[in-house]
Amino acid sequence: MTTVTEAAEGVPVRPPQPRSGVSRSIRDSLVVARRNLIRMTRIPEIVLFGLIQPIMFVVLFTYVFGGSISIGGSTDPKLYKEFLMAGIFAQTVTFATAGAGAGIADDMHKGLIDRFRSLPMARGAVLTGRTLADLVQTSLTIVVLAGVALLVGWRTHENIGMVICGFLLLLLLGYAFSWIGALIGLTVRTPEAATSGGLIWLFPLTFISNAFVPVNGMPAFLQHIAEWNPFSATVAGARELFGNTMPNVPKSVTGAWPMEHPVVASVIWSLVIIAVFRTLAVRKYRSAAA
């Protein structure tokens, strides 16, 4: 009615402007993310089981290995708790990769991707929305895990701003790895295969690192691998931001640049992983949905 009145009065009427590609992609991604978050609330065991494993790791590593692993020449369990927790946090955000891959593989298996194809939405939004929803779930898991860590004796020694930056660094790595999970989920045929494929490569990645033991106790060839591992850079960066660095443990035993500048190296690694694997995952999605 207003349009007709304005036209009758001689006022030029502008047609609705089409949304830009970026705004459309953001809108569609948020819609898909909301859909996945609602699904998580309706299946609470997804969140519950995602919490149980990291809590078990905290308790087992703290009380089983805490008094037997030497950190800087000391077997004080308190030192090991502060050394350990950044590694447990990093392992938790990266292990969410398996869930991301399984979820996308399940959507493919059920034909949901075909239904998304019929909608006028940005192609990359399906994957971006899924990874954003997984990031929210991982954030909730980290909050609970941090509470458990405080209960078993973990403490930070930096201001709250630095500590928050440490958690953001961890979540950035988790988001980057979720794109690897997305690619795996689009590549395999079943959710079960996606779960296995999402975990099998994570175990060597997380254990050949500085997450659970100092690198200087490893064989020389593994020291180089561990110190150029993007997982190690994030663990070292989180320790630095939490104030959990060990005074008698060297930053690097091989002179690797990522260990000398772990925060910067972690950000670079995460952004490179996002750029590479998002491109590959979106390309795979388009070819799979063609």
Question: pLDDT digit string (tens) for 231-270?
Answer: 999 999 999 999 998 887 888 899 899 999 999 999 999 9
Q: Are 262 and 231 in contact (CB under 8 A)?
A: no
Q: Is 219 exposed, middle or buried (0-12, 13-18, 19+ CB in 10 A)?
A: exposed
Mean pLDDT of 69-80: 79
Distances (CA, A) of 222 to 95, 199, 210, 227, 258: 22, 21, 11, 8, 15
Q: Containing domain of residue 53, as a range?
A: 22-288
**pLDDT value, residue 3:** 46
**pLDDT value, residue 289:** 54
143 domain residue, yes or no = yes
Mean pLDDT of 175-183: 93
**pLDDT value, residue 105:** 82
The region of weakest confidence among 13-22, 61-70, 152-161 is 13-22
6 domain residue, yes or no = no
**pLDDT value, residue 222:** 93
The region of weakest confidence among 63-72, 144-153, 166-175, 207-216 is 63-72
Distances (CA, A) of 251 to 58, 80, 115, 209: 24, 16, 51, 13
Nearest one of 92, 95, 90, 94 to 210, comparing CA atoms: 90
Residues in contact with 77: Cβ distance below 8 Å, sequence separation at least 6, in sequence order: 62, 66, 67, 153
Q: Which residue has the higher pLDDT, 103 or 161?
A: 161
Looking at every residue in the chain, the average pLDDT score rounds to 84
Mean pLDDT of 172-201: 88
Question: Does the pLDDT at position 102 exceed 60?
Answer: yes
Would you call 72 helix, strand, or coil by DSSP?
A: coil
Q: Are 285 and 123 in contact (CB under 8 A)?
A: yes
15 domain residue, yes or no = no
10 domain residue, yes or no = no
Q: Are 93 and 142 in contact (CB under 8 A)?
A: yes
**pLDDT value, residue 13:** 45
Q: Which residue has the higher pLDDT, 215 or 20?
A: 215
Rounded-to-integer distance, Cα 237 and Cα 257, Å: 13
2 domain residue, yes or no = no
Instruction: Quickly state the pLDDT bin for 143 (edges 50, 70, 90).
Output: very high
Query: In the chain, how many domains are there?
Result: 1
Question: Does the pLDDT at position 118 exceed 70?
Answer: no
Q: Which residue has the higher pLDDT, 255 or 77?
A: 255
Rounded-to-integer distance, Cα 214 and Cα 250, Å: 9
**pLDDT value, residue 21:** 63
**pLDDT value, residue 18:** 47
Q: How many residues does the chain have?
A: 290
**pLDDT value, residue 231:** 96
**pLDDT value, residue 6:** 42
